[in-house]
Structure 1
Amino acid sequence: MAESIISIRNLVKTYTLGGETVTALHRVSLEIEHGEFLAIIGPSGSGKSTLMNMIGCLDKAESGEYMLEQQNVGKMNDNQLAAIRNQKIGFIFQNFNLLSKLTALENVELPLIYQGVGTNERRKRAQECLQKVGLEERAAHLPTQLSGGQQQRVAIARALVCNPAILLADEPTGALDSKTSSEIMNVMKGLNELGHTIVLITHDLDVAKQAKRIVQIRDGKLFEYGGDSIEAASLY
């Protein structure tokens, strides 16, 4: 069996809303191996955003254990968590989050600037990542000169540029039409075939089915489905 890149054991997270305690994650356990393409699916309020925040080191659980590449995330301070987010996790968002005054290439370079990487090395790596997503010819274009699908490809390239341990994609096709969504999912599958570990958060069953493995989160609890056993009726 391959070594887990992520090992989550019995994570619990609660929130207080209007004087009531809501359990967002209820003893969630999950193993993700190197090179996996995992989809986490669930409706609004199911706990999937909370779980994404845990995996992305944006929030901490009250109890349980989260190991990322054999490092115990739960015991890290804020500076250590920031370093993990910058070096080990490539974030891909629904709304791209590109800086409008920077070119595609400059947007991709940005995480490397925070790491103090020199100009020549930075540019070389950014160009390589744009090439991986099939957008090298648009390197000098501003976001406003790119289609939604092209902007998301730039965002994916930016997520790749630090060579992270995992790509964490939060509804990456949510702002795109069905044709463009399909193109973006093909890019993601191509990256997975190159060996990248991808965790995809979505509410869309058709998108989730393109991953190699699906887990569902419902009322803060995790369920796993094998092969073709997952159907729309079983999700909601």
Structure 2
Amino acid sequence: MAMVDSSVGGKTGVNHPLGKNMVGAFYQPECVFIDLNTLSTLPDRELSSGISEIIKYGLIRDQEFFEWQEANVPAMLARDADAMAFAVRRSCENKAEVVAADEREANVRATLNLGHTFGHAIENGSGYGTYLHGEAVSIGTVMAATMSARMGWIDNDLLKRVYNILEAAKQPVELPLDSPMNSELFLDLMASDKKVADGQLRLILLKGELGNCVFTGEFDHNAMVETVNDFVAECEGQSRLMALK
């Protein structure tokens, strides 16, 4: 997670009962050292969690990288040295380009938060520590893609690809049956997200061809509520997402 995301950009933050990363600062490091050998010390669950953030870059801005990921998820899970070196380098390049254009997250840097508004609500509402960050973001990414498809912004083929690659990376793609989340709690937590501006919730959503997204408050709020309701309802019965496999 640190290698491909949080070590780049200088953003620091801590969790708060009111929301994820609500307190923090921008403080750029003098230098970042990445030692790929340390990946061998990670539990499988931690490694898989980091892959969620790698997948994000392909979805929001790098179609070629996403297509590489689809073919190389097994190699990354196996900790293949060449695959991991490429994935880390390409991820850092993508994030550095975005941060260089918008260090303080006024606009385009927010696109790096694909799935995070939904994901942060899951982390907070489930109790910090229940999910690893990448696991919550994985579910959130599927929710963002589902909402995008519901509004007709992406086709169902891309939605299936999002679902399939995250499942291949051994990441959760829906809430478990014992989730404490309900729709009211979910939406309340989303309403306190740090990307709310002037009382308006803004989301990162996929739009158009693979590799394109938008950061906007102009979306169908009914589609958002229906998406949350669908995912919460899955906790009580058979998953609607089975149709995406």
Structure number having the greater helix percentage: 2
Q: Select the structure with the greater relative contact order (CA < 8 A; seq sep ≥ 6).
A: 1
* Higher-Rg member (1/2): 1
Q: TM-score, normalised on structure 1?
A: 0.29
Using structure 2 for the length normalisation, give the TM-score: 0.28
Q: Which has the higher strand share?
A: 1
